[in-house]
Homo-oligomer: A and B are copies of this chain.
Amino acid sequence: MSIEIKKHIRNVPDFPKKGIMFRDITTLLKNPNSFQLAFEQLYAQTNGLMIDKVVGIESRGFIFGAMLAEHLNAGFVPMRKPGKLPAETEKEFYDLEYGKDSIEIHKDAIRPGEKVLIHDDLLATGGTAKAAINLVEKLGGEVVCILFLVELSFLNGREKLQGYNVKSLVDYTSE
């Protein structure tokens, strides 16, 4: 758990709706020192892993996801909201508090047997991350790490990701 990173994250009450404390990483990103430090600590979590593709989940997962791909000498694969990717896609639905949402990946983004790191900025309920795992596995990829900047452990997202190598830098144990 990184105290140094956490103090650069801003707490915004009642966003996106009343009663939610939003953990805002833009204050961390805009400061060159905390931005570099957060990246170094994320990258350190990948120590020794051979990665062919880094999957970044739209849209905040693109930020550190692309940087991780560069430093790992991997390709970068954007996993996007429906209708954004122009070629043939696989789609996976996941549950929201009310209703469903979905994400997509290009069918040719990952080849069978490739080792994949999935990155998103936030692990909340784990619904998006589980959908991302399913998509990578549909394409024959092997999910070797799921790496988050921030985890809201009081939402028990890790329960949906059992059996996988899940890492995060910063944890919030309560709302």
Contacts and interface: CB of A to CB of B under 8 A. Distances in A.
Q: How many copies does the complex hold?
A: 2
A32 B69 CA distance: 8
Contact of A26 (B35, B58, B73, B106): B106
Contacts of A77: 26, 29-30
Contacts of A59: 58-59, 62, 78, 80
B26 A85 contact: yes
Interface in A92-110: 106, 108-109
A2 B85 CA distance: 24
Contacts of A36: 70, 73
Given A62-B62, A78-B60, A86-B12, A109 B30 contact: yes
Given A24-B86, A24-B87, A66 B63 contact: yes
